[in-house]
Amino acid sequence: MMTRDPLPRLRLFLAALLAFGMLGSLTELLLLHHYEDSWQFVPLVLIGTALIVLVWHLFDRSALSVRMLQTTMALFLVAGLTGVFLHYQANVEFQVETNPSLSGWALFVKAIQAKVPPALAPGLMAQLGLLGLAYSYRHPSLRSES
């Protein structure tokens, strides 16, 4: 008895999760008015670009579309890590301004637990980037490149 290859279904599921995550994140960022300064536009532009690239890839499963998706997802990782740093840094500055005696571990805990901006929220960009890279890992369209 021959079993069917589960990878195409898994790839489709990962692509759907990626699209769902990006649409949800984009909606949330827009509802939170996450466009007050130039740094805040980065995730909006990246998500918009990634959605366009993903739709392109779903219609044209070429090696180029996979490489563009991988590049965009790598940028998601960079943006996510940068965002965590920027959110954390803003929280530290606010906490020190509010209570100059804070330092060390107490300052770290206060900054990481702050609700505005949530320090770890940009980590979602990194997670989406990893999800997109998992989708494109050893993608069949890349075999034609070798």
- Structural domain boundaries enclosing 93: 7-139
Q: Which amino acid is at 79?
A: A
Residue 6, Cβ density class (10 Å: 0-12 exposed, 13-18 middle, ≥19 buried): exposed
Has residue 131 been placed in a domain? yes
Q: What mean pLDDT is predicted for residues 12-35?
A: 96
Has residue 145 been placed in a domain? no
Neighbours of 65 (CB within 10 A): 20
Residue 4 tokens read as: 């069917």
Has residue 119 been placed in a domain? yes
Check whether 54 has a pLDDT greater than 90.
yes
CA–CA distance from 8 to each of 41, 52, 60, 119 (Å)? 34, 21, 15, 36
Q: How confident is the model at residue 2 (pLDDT cuts 50, 70, 90)?
A: low
- Looking at the structure of the chain, the number of domains it has is 1
Check whether 73 has a pLDDT greater than 90.
yes
> What pLDDT, on a 0 to 100 scale, did the predictor assign at position 146?
56
Has residue 19 been placed in a domain? yes
Has residue 146 been placed in a domain? no
Has residue 100 been placed in a domain? yes
pLDDT in tens, 91-120: 999 999 999 999 999 999 999 999 989 999
Check whether 145 has a pLDDT greater than 80.
no
